[in-house]
């Protein structure tokens, strides 16, 4: 079945509280998608964000982002009063997320809800604690300790805590019991609200496409609790870290800094941690996009301490073996393989063996060469997902403005357009008209917004992940335009 989708993170939704939430505007966006005939809503990772607020650098693989918990829903449950949160200045600009303000206020509001919650019947809560004990206990302790240590990374805590000495852990677990329960409550409310939203979307005929990073952050509960999963020394320092080598987009390469997996250990353990991760993700989402999929074939290793990614080496990943092990336990999964970047014949073969749809990004298509694999006439199978651009790309409008004359000329010729101002919408139509089973467009491109609205600029630290829309952007005219697009191209 041919489907069209829109890529927009929860953080980008409208709300009165500085960031998108899982409340009325999220349900309104589902209604907008369903009314437009859009069948897929793709979001970025929903995990709690760490330094610089990237969804791809999280404190936890399994936890949900507290910022997305809807205060109004908590108020209807009697856990908050509107006066607790309504008179706070959450942002200066409704189109930009101010993470500093949200961090300073959000947890204080949730603590009020937690105190009121303790007086309520907690049958559902106790069931949640039991069903998620495997990851929740460690995460709640980790976050309680992080707050106790003024937000510092775990490797800057006292040695006994950083190295998880038994006596030190027993002591803080007892002393911080109230704070630990608070962070468990946060996760309960996040997953309760997310579950309701997902069920509503599915009922409306909208599936959720989730996104999981291949790597985890160094300052994360996974590294702290399970160092054996990663290439670390005896003091839990990374031996090598992840990134990408220099290319046309980044002359010094990209130094992500994530610890690398000890794939030999995972193999001996029959990939049980990855199996749990994928099982969790497939329950959270209808379709799961795995970021940097090529890392399963081979990965770029940079010595820890290097300031750039210039001096690294490629190493062999687990290959098809990991997916055979996971599929044996979980069965077939709806996965999208993000196979972008430096792609070798071996990576292509791995994607082919898994049977997962690969990605085609139209912003990469118009270099003037008719053999370019991202041009729709070169798609050898419909088992692929075509994007106008991803969260790492400029908006279409911004891309057109910054592209060379030759690129613009080829776009115009390829799509038989009259001028450069038609290119952005022409590319959306091109995605929808392609043979690809799934076509996805960023919300910014549907709204024809410029570079200031891009979600992320790789290898930069400022002004990322802050994009937001307003409710007034979701017009009846836009609904009609998308309905027509879906009708014409059978999506």
Catalytic residue among 31, 77, 392, 422: 392
Question: Cα angle vertex 374, ends 371, 460, to 5°?
Answer: 125
Give the torsion sign (CA, 469, 475, 481, 487). Answer: positive
The tokens of 245 are what?
A: 């080598």
Which one, of 39, 40, 37, 41, lies nearest residue 485 by Cα? 37
Q: Is 291 a catalytic residue?
A: yes
Residue 433: count other Cβ atoms within 10 Å of its Cβ.
17
**From the centroid of its chain, how far is CA 436?**
23
Beta strands of 204-292 (E only): which ranges? 207-212, 240-244, 254-259, 287-290
Q: CA torsion, points 59, 61, 62, 64, in degrees to nearest 10?
A: 50
Question: Cα angle vertex 17, ends 16, 21, to 5°?
Answer: 95
Q: Is 392 a catalytic residue?
A: yes
CB 431 within 8 A of CB 385: no
What is the rounded distance in angstroms from the CA atom of residue 459 to the CA atom of residue 450?
A: 20
Catalytic residue among 53, 179, 222, 291: 291
Q: Is 416 a catalytic residue?
A: no
Q: Which residues contact 392 (CB under 8 A, 6 or more apart)?
A: 455, 456, 457, 458
Cα separations in angstroms, 398 against 63, 412, 445: 34, 16, 10
Residue 491: count other Cβ atoms within 10 Å of its Cβ.
23
DSSP 119: T
Cα separations in angstroms, 339 against 265, 343, 346, 430: 25, 7, 11, 21
Catalytic residue among 338, 339, 394, 445: 338
Look-up: residue for tokens 């600029």?
457
Phi-psi region of 34 (alpha: psi -120 to 50; beta: other; left: phi over 0): alpha
Residue 117: count other Cβ atoms within 10 Å of its Cβ.
21
Give the torsion sign (CA, 8, 211, 244, 404). Answer: negative
| Catalytic residue set | 291, 338, 392
């Amino acid at each position: 079945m041919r489907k069209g989708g829109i890529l927009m993170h929860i953080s980008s939704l409208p709300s009165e509280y500085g960031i998108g939430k899982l409340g009325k505007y999220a349900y309104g966006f589902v209604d907008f998608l369903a009314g437009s005939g859009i069948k897929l809503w793709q979001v970025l990772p929903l995990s709690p964000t760490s330094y610089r607020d990237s969804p791809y650098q999280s404190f936890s693989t399994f936890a949900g982002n507290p910022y997305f918990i809807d205060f109004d829903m908590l108020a209807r449950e009697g856990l908050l009063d509107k006066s607790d949160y309504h008179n706070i200045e959450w942002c200066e600009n409704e189109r930009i997320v101010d993470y500093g303000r949200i961090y300073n206020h959000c947890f204080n509001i949730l603590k009020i809800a937690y105190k009121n919650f303790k007086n309520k019947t907690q049958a559902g809560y106790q069931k949640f604690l039991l069903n998620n004990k495997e990851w929740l206990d460690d995460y709640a302790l980790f976050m309680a300790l992080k707050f106790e240590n003024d937000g510092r990374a775990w490797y800057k805590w006292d040695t006994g805590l950083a190295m998880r000495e038994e006596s030190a852990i027993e002591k803080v677990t007892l002393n911080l019991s109230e704070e630990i329960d608070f962070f468990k409550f946060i996760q309960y409310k996040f997953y309760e609200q997310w579950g309701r939203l997902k069920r509503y979307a599915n009922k409306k005929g909208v599936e959720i496409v989730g996104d999981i990073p291949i790597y985890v952050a160094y300052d994360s509960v996974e590294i702290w609790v399970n160092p054996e999963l990663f290439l670390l020394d005896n003091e839990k320092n990374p031996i090598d870290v992840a990134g990408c080598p220099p290319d046309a987009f980044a002359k010094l390469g990209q130094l992500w800094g994530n610890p690398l997996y000890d794939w030999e250990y995972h193999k001996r353990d029959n990939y049980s941690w990855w199996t749990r991760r994928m099982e969790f993700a497939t329950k959270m989402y209808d379709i799961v996009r795995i970021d940097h999929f090529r890392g399963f074939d081979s990965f770029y290793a940079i010595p820890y301490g290097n300031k750039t990614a210039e001096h690294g080496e490629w190493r062999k990943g687990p290959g098809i073996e990991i997916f055979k092990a996971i599929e044996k336990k979980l069965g077939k999964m709806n996965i999208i393989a993000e196979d972008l970047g430096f792609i070798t014949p071996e990576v292509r073969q791995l994607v082919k063996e898994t049977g997962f749809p690969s990605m085609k990004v139209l912003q990469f298509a118009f270099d003037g060469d008719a053999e370019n694999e991202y041009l729709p006439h070169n798609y050898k199978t419909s088992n692929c997902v075509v994007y106008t651009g991803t969260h790492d790309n400029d908006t279409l409008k911004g891309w057109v403005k910054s592209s060379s004359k030759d690129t613009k000329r080829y776009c115009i010729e390829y799509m038989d357009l009259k001028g450069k101002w038609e290119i952005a919408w022409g590319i959306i139509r091109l995605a929808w008209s392609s043979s690809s089973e799934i076509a996805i467009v960023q919300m910014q491109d549907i709204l024809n917004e410029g570079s200031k609205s891009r979600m992320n600029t790789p290898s930069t630290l400022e002004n990322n992940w802050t994009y937001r829309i307003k409710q007034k952007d979701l017009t009846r005219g836009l609904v009609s335009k998308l309905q027509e697009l879906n009708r014409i191209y059978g999506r």
